[in-house]
Amino acid sequence: MALAKGTIEEITTRAARYPSKQSAIIPALWAVQHEQGYVTKDAMGEIAQILALPPSLIEATASFYSMFLTRPEGRHDVVICVNAPCMLRGADEMTAYLGQQLGVRDGQTTKDGAITWHSTIECLGACGGAPMMQVDHHFEENLTPERIDAIIQRLRRGVAPGEGAAGPEHASDRIKPSRSGGEGPSASATEPLRRKSPKRAN
Ligand code: FES
């Protein structure tokens, strides 16, 4: 699917703000994901053309950052943290429970297309509320089976993240952790998540 005119304009406008076109890769990927829901290889090729950069550079950036989707996923994105602090507070049990309740394995999407979930060994930055998970970029903390049930029900009812939350929730403006950690391509050009603004709630 060719990029919409508005998306191309946005990429061009963004690119003009930076001294290096490479710095516009991440904003360009966001623009495409906002328009199409995910970033196909064809779309990466279009970005490369607009920015006059090698397609491999766009693909390397898109594959490095976990916030960029390269295939259709569920309407809701659930990431459960299994790093040490969360693990010490029961993340493994919560992960097993989540998978069981959703009926699909780590990395898969529920049959109704509502939820895609996966676990991450990267700390999501909310250890104080461990065990926790990130739902559409909002934090859901102090997980219990009951809280997970409530969250799943809420998502299936179509309630937006942060509304009618099952309990404590918090998040911060930041990039989701990379799949491999450390700085990746165009790391200097990162920008805060804009698709859904994280917030901290009581
Ligand atoms: S270890 Fe899970 S949020 Fe930090």
CATH at 167: 3.40.30.10
Q: In whole angstroms, what is the distance from residue 19 CA to residue 17 CA?
A: 7
Atom of ligand 1 nearest to the CA of 124: 3
Indicate which CATH number applies to the domain containing 28. Answer: 1.10.10.1590
Q: In whole angstroms, what is the distance from residue 27 CA to residue 24 CA?
A: 5
Q: Which two tokens stand for residue 166?
A: 């099952």
- Mean pLDDT in the chain? 83
Same domain, yes or no: 40 and 131: no
Write 9-14 long-range contacts (CB < 8 A, 24+). 11/47, 11/50, 11/51, 12/50
pLDDT digits (tens, 9 = 90+) for 144-153: 999 999 999 9
Instruction: State the amino acid at position 59 in one-letter form.
Output: E
Domain boundary pick from 21, 39, 70: 70
From the CB of 81, is ligand 1 less than 6 Å away? Answer: yes
Same domain, yes or no: 114 and 17: no
Going from the Cα of 132 to the center of ligand 1, the distance in angstroms, rounded, reads 7
From the CB of 99, is ligand 1 less than 6 Å away? Answer: no
Going from the Cα of 167 to the center of ligand 1, the distance in angstroms, rounded, reads 18
Going from the Cα of 14 to the center of ligand 1, the distance in angstroms, rounded, reads 33
Q: In whole angstroms, what is the distance from residue 177 CA to residue 84 CA?
A: 15
Tell me whether residue 77 is exposed, middle or buried, using C-beta atoms within 10 angstroms of its C-beta: 0 to 12, 13 to 18, 19 or more. buried
pLDDT digits (tens, 9 = 90+) for 82-141: 999 999 999 999 999 999 999 999 999 999 999 999 999 889 999 999 999 999 879 999
From the CB of 94, is ligand 1 less than 6 Å away? Answer: no
Going from the Cα of 107 to the center of ligand 1, the distance in angstroms, rounded, reads 19
Same domain, yes or no: 66 and 83: no
Same domain, yes or no: 65 and 78: no
